[in-house]
């Protein structure tokens, strides 16, 4: 039996839901993403259920689909934006600027001024240069300071580029009032798809240390921003959202006691990831030599069509075929003429050997960081299309 194709479909979707998606997908040209809105709503409710005192700022970059944003506006979400383009987009869909945080620490002065003119009053920072720009272009705004984390334990680490050492942050906190700004809170991001819940513990302690240090100088910080990092369900299992919630709550209580500060979370992947199913077609199956143990399978989607998080094989997507029978160890690649467009070579996916050119595969957990990453017509292939499945319509 070991040689037989196995895939636990019901871990990712109910048979009824899958049948619905298959029917919806049947007449459409691949590749494309199907976004299951209901799932995004469920993931939002699940997170708020386990962290009821927290305010959700959805990280727009994970999936900026219009209907996804509309749903989240309806559910009362706030938004973490990274550019004036995301800002305009979110405002155009009716979110008010007091529900928007400018979370990118890398900003042009004119973009800060633009966000301010649109009513944004909450900005992230991690450097003196950026803080001065905010002071000049968004006077009186609240600022929160991002501390450096090392990203260990995360499948998609965000270390090094963002955040500063606590000593530097302490200096910036004291500097903010001199620049006419309100030092408001501390933020961090423990790395995306973070498997080690303990990473929040250390970061929260650093927040508390900075709260205390600032208080000694008469500055009362009010907010802790726990960032993203909550997982989606790829191949290797993670702990449940509820355990993330209960552990993080425990860490907060250990440091802050009963008087919790205002708490913000910025989920992207964990809200959108599980809601996406990417439908792809096998373009070609080949073998490099007669004796070669592995076959190469080229799909009509690859790194440039939305699966860039397969870089270093960091994110391992569950890939499903409806065929059964004996398996073949397979190297998976995309359709473009760039030789880096290989999805998995070290990790050999075991797929049915009966698969042939033209068969469809379903790639689960592709709702986050796929469409927004897909390239503009590299080799002429259009950016990844998405259809939203909304049962209520
Ligand atoms: C990308 C990003 C997030 C979202 O992270 P996920 O791990 O996808 O939840 C949150 N906050 C900031 C500042 C980000 O850049």
pLDDT classification of 293: cutoffs 50, 70, 90? confident
pLDDT in tens, 135-147: 999 999 999 999 9
On whether the CB atoms of residues 371 and 386 are closer than 8 A, the answer is yes
| 103-267 CATH, one of 1.10.10.10, 3.20.20.10, 1.10.3720.10, 3.40.50.720 | 3.20.20.10
Q: Is the pLDDT of residue 393 over 60?
A: no
Planar angle of CA 306, 308, 310, nearest 5 degrees: 120
Phi, psi of 327 (to 5 degrees): -105, 165
Scan for tokens 């298959």, then name that residue.
Answer: 22
Q: What tokens appear for 270 in the block?
A: 């964990």
CATH number for the segment(s) 9-34+274-388: 2.40.37.10
pLDDT in tens, 330-383: 999 999 999 999 999 999 999 999 999 999 999 999 999 999 999 999 999 999
Instruction: Tell me which residue of 78, 2, 66 sits closest to 37, measured CA to CA.
Output: 66
Question: What atom of ligand 1 comes closest to residue 193's alpha carbon?
Answer: 7
- Contact residues for 49 (Cβ-Cβ < 8 A; gap 6+): 242, 245
Instruction: Tell me which residue of 102, 204, 112, 203 sits closest to 158, measured CA to CA.
Output: 203
Do 9-34+274-388 and 103-267 share a fold? no
- The residue whose CB lies within 8 Å of the most ligand 1 atoms, and thus the one to mutate among 62, 146, 154, 194, is 62
Q: Annotated catalytic, 377?
A: no
Whole-angstrom distance, CA of residue 208 vs CA of residue 199: 15
Which amino acids bring their CB within 6 angstroms of ligand 1?
A: 59, 61-62, 80, 103, 189, 192, 227-230, 266-270
Task: Mark 70-95 as b/e (b = at least 16 C-beta within 10 Å).
Answer: bbbbeeebbbbbbbbebbebbbeeeb
Give residue limits of the domains in the chain.
Answer: 9-34+274-388, 103-267
**Given 1, 291, 337, 376, which residue is catalytic?**
337
């Amino acid at each position: 039996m070991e040689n037989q194709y196995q895939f636990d479909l019901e871990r990712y979707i109910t048979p009824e839901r899958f049948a619905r998606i298959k029917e919806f997908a049947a007449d459409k040209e691949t590749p494309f993403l199907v976004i299951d809105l209901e799932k995004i709503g469920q993931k939002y409710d699940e997170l708020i259920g386990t962290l009821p005192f927290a305010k959700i700022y959805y990280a727009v970059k994970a999936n900026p689909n219009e209907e996804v944003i509309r749903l989240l506006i309806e559910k009362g979400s706030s938004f973490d934006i990274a550019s004036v383009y995301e800002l305009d987009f979110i405002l155009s869909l009716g979110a008010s600027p007091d529900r928007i945080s400018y979370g990118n620490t890398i900003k042009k002065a004119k973009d800060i001024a633009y966000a301010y003119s649109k009513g944004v009053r909450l900005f992230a920072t991690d450097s003196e240069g950026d803080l001065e720009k905010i002071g000049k272009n968004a006077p009186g705004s609240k600022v929160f300071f991002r501390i450096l984390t090392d990203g260990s334990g995360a499948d998609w680490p965000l270390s090094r580029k963002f955040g500063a050492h606590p000593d530097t942050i302490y200096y910036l906190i004291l500097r903010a009032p001199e620049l006419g700004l309100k030092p408001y809170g501390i933020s961090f991001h423990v790395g995306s798809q973070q498997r080690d819940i303990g990473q929040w513990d250390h970061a929260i302690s650093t927040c508390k240390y900075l709260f205390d240090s600032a208080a000694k100088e008469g500055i009362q910080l009010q907010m802790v921003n726990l960032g993203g990092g909550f997982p989606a369900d790829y191949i290797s299992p993670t702990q449940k959202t509820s355990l993330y919630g209960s552990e993080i709550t425990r860490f907060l209580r250990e440091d802050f006691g009963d008087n919790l500060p205002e708490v913000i979370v910025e989920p992207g992947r964990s809200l959108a990831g599980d809601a996406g199913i990417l439908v792809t077609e096998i373009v070609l199956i080949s073998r490099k030599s007669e004796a070669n143990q592995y076959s190469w399978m080229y799909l009509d989607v690859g790194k440039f069509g939305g699966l860039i998080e397969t870089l270093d094989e960091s994110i391992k997507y569950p890939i499903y075929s409806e065929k059964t029978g004996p398996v073949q160890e397979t190297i998976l690649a995309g359709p473009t003429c760039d030789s880096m467009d290989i999805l998995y070579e070290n990790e050999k996916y075991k797929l049915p050997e009966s698969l042939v050119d033209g068969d469809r595969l379903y790639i689960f957990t592709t709702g986050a960081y796929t469409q927004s990453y897909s390239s503009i017509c590299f080799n002429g292939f259009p950016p990844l299309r998405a259809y939203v499945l909304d049962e209520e319509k």
